[in-house]
Amino acid sequence: MQMEVAGARTYEPAAYLPRATYWNSFLLLRFYQYTGDRKYLARIPDAIKWLEKVKLPPGMTENGKYTHSLFVEVGTDKPIFEHRKGSNVTYGYYYTDTIDTKLLGHMHGKGNINVQRLKDEYASVSALSPEEATKNSPLKPAAFTEEGTPQSYYSLSRDTAPSTTITEAQVKEVIKSLDSQNRWLVPHAMISNPYIGDGVNKEPTDQYASTHVGDKTDTSPYSDPSDQLYISTPQYIKNMNVLISYLKLQKERLKGNTLHAFKDMR
């Protein structure tokens, strides 16, 4: 509540996050376009300056693949990286340092942030008057004329674009991917070792530093490298979201066509 930096999970240290700063800046731009209040723009230039300041040094970008570390040290603004030692949950542990090798497999310590995109978007949006910025604000009383629903179209997602419209081709592809028993099967699903007791290996090895699972006593989830097919809950949810979103869109279109037909009759 005092807005102090705090850690979260054991592999999430108390640090600054360039990625969160970047996406939150886009949200602030959206808030200005919704409200016309320029207070939401006030600190974005500071965020841009900071993102420029904390870019990875050339030797850590891996030939330009990455621009920023996931975590930045409080007080120094230097990149820090999370690591793991040990073979199992009983004797394994996470730690943080400034070395960018042997990073975690389940949460890579680097990412790519397009600061120029934020600069361009800020320049474009901040140049608008409050009246221009809020021209299409969902906070203004008006009939919704876009595709889908207001909730999906004006979603405060981590991107700036409205939700992608589901096409008939996507729906057909999802239905076609059902097997003969009407199942969506996928390889390389997340599995885990069966529990056989607590770990006993106390050696602080880095053999499993970048893997998703340790030794046979570690029950952490990992991707099955074999070609075994599984019924996947994430795949089911993904496919059902496509089908449901398409049905919602068709319902809205049908409702709109019926309304127009009724007005024509009048």
Q: How far from 187 is each of 172, 173, 190, 227, 235, CA to CA, in Å?
A: 21, 18, 9, 6, 11
Please compute the mean of the pLDDT values over residues 226-241 and round it to a whole number.
94
Mean model confidence pLDDT for the chain:
91
DSSP per residue, 117-181: HHHHHHHHHHTS-HHHHTTT-TTS-----SSS-HHHHT---SSSSPPPPPPHHHHHHHHHT--TT
Contact 60, 103 (CB under 8 A): no
CB of 67 within 8 A of CB of 60? no
More confident residue, 50 or 151: 50
Q: 165 pLDDT band (50/70/90 cuts)?
A: confident
What is the pTM (predicted TM-score) of this model?
Answer: 0.79
Q: Does the residue 7 lie in any domain?
A: no
Beta strands in the chain (DSSP E): 68-69, 71-72, 79-85, 93-97, 110-111, 185-187, 190-191, 222-223, 229-231
Is residue 9 in some structural domain?
no
What distance in Å separates the CA atoms of residue 42 and residue 178, rounded to the nearest whole number? 51
Residue 8 lies in a domain: no
Residues spanned by the domain of 140: 18-265
Between 198 and 142, the higher pLDDT residue: 198
Statement: residue 255 has pLDDT above 80 = no
Supply φ then ψ for residue 45, to 5 degrees.
Answer: -55, -35
Tens-place pLDDT, residues 126-141 = 999 999 999 989 998 8
Residue with structure tokens 């970047």? 22
Would the CA dihedral through 17, 22, 26, 32 be positive or negative?
positive
Nearest one of 199, 194, 225 to 87, comparing CA atoms: 199
Domain-embedded: residue 176: yes
Residue 199 clears pLDDT 60, i.e. is over it? yes
| 215 part of a folded domain | yes
Q: Tell me: pLDDT of 117 over 50.
A: yes
Residue 251, CA distances (Å) to 56, 247, 254, 258 in order:
48, 6, 5, 10
Burial state string for 103-113 with b = 16 or more CB within 10 A and e = fewer than 16: bbeeeebbbeb
Question: Which residue bears the tokens 């509540």?
Answer: 1
What pLDDT is attached to residue 254?
82
d(CA 120, CA 130) in angstroms, rounded, equals 18
- Write out the two tokens for 205: 């090895």
Size (the chain), residues: 266
Q: How confident is the model at residue 236 (pLDDT cuts 50, 70, 90)?
A: very high
For residue 146, what pLDDT band results from cuts at 50, 70 and 90? confident
Question: Does any domain span residue 2?
Answer: no
- Residue 100 included in any domain: yes
**Beta-ladder partners of 231:** 185
Residue 153 has pLDDT above 60, yes or no: yes
Q: Which of 192, 263, 246, 200 is nearest to 222 (CA)?
A: 192
Q: Which of 36-40, 150-154, 159-163 has the lowest mean pLDDT?
A: 159-163
The answer as to whether 71 is a domain residue is yes
Section 65-83 average pLDDT: 97
Q: Is 3 left (phi over 0), alpha (psi -120 to 50) or beta?
A: left
**What's the number of domains the chain is made of?**
1
φ/ψ of 26, rounded to 5, equals -65, -35
- 185: amino acid identity, one letter: L
